[in-house]
Amino acid sequence: MSQNIQSVRGMNDILPGEAEFWELFEDTVRSWLKSYGYRPIRLPIVEPTPLFKRAIGEVTDIVEKEMYSFTDSLNGELLTLRPEGTAGCVRALIQHKLAAQHPQRLYYMGQMFRHERPQKGRYRQFNQVGVEAFGFAGPDIDAEQILMGARLWDDLGLDGITLQLNSLGQADERARYRSELVSYFEKHADSLDEDAKRRLYTNPLRILDSKNPAMQEMIASAPKLMAHLGADSMAHFEGVQQVLRDYGLPYEINPRLVRGLDYYNLTVFEWVTDRLGAQGTVCAGGRYDGLVEQLGGKPTSACGFAMGVERLVALIRESGGEPAAESVDVYLVHQGEAASRLAPRVAEGLRDMGIDVLFHCGGGSFKAQMKKADASGASFAVIIGDDEAAAGEVTLKHLRGIGEEQGQQKRVGIEHVADEIMNSYLDGDEA
């Protein structure tokens, strides 16, 4: 006996019931982004591998251990399933000369892929909403993107999400800080775990983000990047904070917030919660002014963030949120040769009028079909037998009426059935 084929570990099906929940979330997100002037862009799932090595950094965990990369068997090209969206968005910006037109506010939704150990809130195929703004140099766009997050949590009915903020300064400031940080960690080499030792000379700032309890006291005493920032970097950071203070949005400055990608500079931020266990970040981002030039474009200011959809959906459900039950307006029941020929035309006529119709397929008695109509959640059953078909009529039955109305039925001419249904909805609204 052949073995059943299962989905790949860490790559999950989203089944009916759950999928409607996702669509409701996505609709909310699209409306929210439109209200801030962001426009959609759709990007390939597969990109050239060098794109991510140049953008993310060759000594990051993503490039070293987590990317799904392969060689195209037709032409030998090195390709990668995208592990994040910013690099592809910047590639599209350069390739299609979008930055030359005017400043751009863009967003995308879709799957990302990282080969890591699956756990709650972290999967090998996961979904993100990415938001990117190009051509805005001041701290106002950083602050606006942070305020956007606060508004979305309110739109989704979420609380308990807090804001952490930091500044990474500019590349030359980080270089001076990096030297001091390496010297500090070298003096405490005995306290470093294997992961920290591996990062010591390649990406020492990531050691600050370690969750190893045995290293926390030593990390807390490490030199602070903020002390190495120049006047311009500090002014930019103060500009972001001033907007947040004026709005009354609370935040915490976290000097250990460094982000896992090499392209960030100046403002970085994370929205975090303690309701999802160890994987508490639901939204993160910041400024990356050097990336467009780094990938071959003209110098372009840039700022963006990404949200993990799985984590946000889990948080909505943990908070008790559920989508409204999805149901159609009409379940169309039919039996008999003449009725079965007329029924599809009736169904399409109702759909032409904006009425949702679930058409019964597969035959069966009237009794069996009516059981399915009751279970469908439809407000009405439209019933067609050969008698109705001969008379050019249908039987309209209220399945979800109010009081005595429920269960009532009457014969209606085919040309009037849509009006009867819509008038019943209006009467119900007025009641």
16-58 per-position pLDDT tens digit: 888 888 998 999 999 999 999 999 999 999 999 999 988 887 7
Give residue 32's pLDDT: 97
Least confident interval from 15-19, 232-236, 368-372: 15-19
Pick among 2.60.40.10, 3.40.50.720, 3.30.930.10, 3.40.50.170: CATH of 18-169+229-318:
3.30.930.10
Contacts of 352 (CB under 8 A, 6+ apart): none
Say how far apart CA 276 and CA 347 lie, in whole Å: 46
Cα distances from 183 to residues 187, 189, 196, 200, 344, in angstroms, run: 7, 10, 14, 10, 77
Spatial contact of 131 and 107, defined as CB atoms under 8 Å apart: yes
CATH 3.30.930.10 domain residues, the chain: 18-169+229-318
User: Mean pLDDT, the chain, as a whole number?
Assistant: 89
Structural domain 330-430, CATH architecture: 3-Layer(aba) Sandwich (3.40)
CATH 3.40.50.800 domain residues, the chain: 330-430
Say how far apart CA 357 and CA 362 lie, in whole Å: 16
Say how far apart CA 239 and CA 139 lie, in whole Å: 6
Binning pLDDT at 50, 70 and 90, where does residue 404 land? low
Residue 254 clears pLDDT 70, i.e. is over it: yes
